[in-house]
Amino acid sequence: MGIKSNAVKACDTAFSIYIRRSNEDKFGHVACVTCGITYDWKSITNGHLMPRGNMATRWHEKNALPQCVGCQGRNNGEREKMRAAIDAKWGEGTAEEMRLLSITVARFTVDDIKELTKEYKLKAEDL
């Protein structure tokens, strides 16, 4: 793996931990936003409305919510249920905002990615 791909992987991990931990209850449990089943925060995944290949929304907090492995693997990540969950959490129209943002071009340098990684690690520690 190259320097940039290693930085992306580290940022993905920090972002995923933050999203899952920021949605946990006081017992460390997190409900899948598409099926409602509760899991330990370490056992649930970080689902994205717009796929991670879209760099403009890859690490956008309004584009990601906890999702179980089953839901993430079904029907394109249960996209319609995810859209509804995003709008319910962040306000009507947020899912469309994420869709529009996802088609814009975003370029991150290795330093940009490392800064985001630090930011999400700190945010997770502050929870």
E-state strands within the chain: 29-31, 38-40, 45-48, 64-67
Q: How far apart (Å, rounded) are the C-alpha atoms in residues 78 and 117? A: 27
Asked if pLDDT for residue 86 goes beyond 80, the answer is yes
Q: Using alpha carbons only, how large is the chain's radius of gyration in Å?
A: 14
Q: How far apart (Å, rounded) are the C-alpha atoms in residues 26 and 49? A: 26
Share of the chain above pLDDT 70, in %: 100
Mean model confidence pLDDT for the chain: 96
- Return the pLDDT at 75: 75
Asked if pLDDT for residue 99 goes beyond 90, the answer is yes
Would you tell me how many other CB atoms lie within 10 Å of the CB of residue 101?
16
Asked if pLDDT for residue 1 goes beyond 90, the answer is no
First to last CA, the chain: 31
- Return the pLDDT at 38: 97
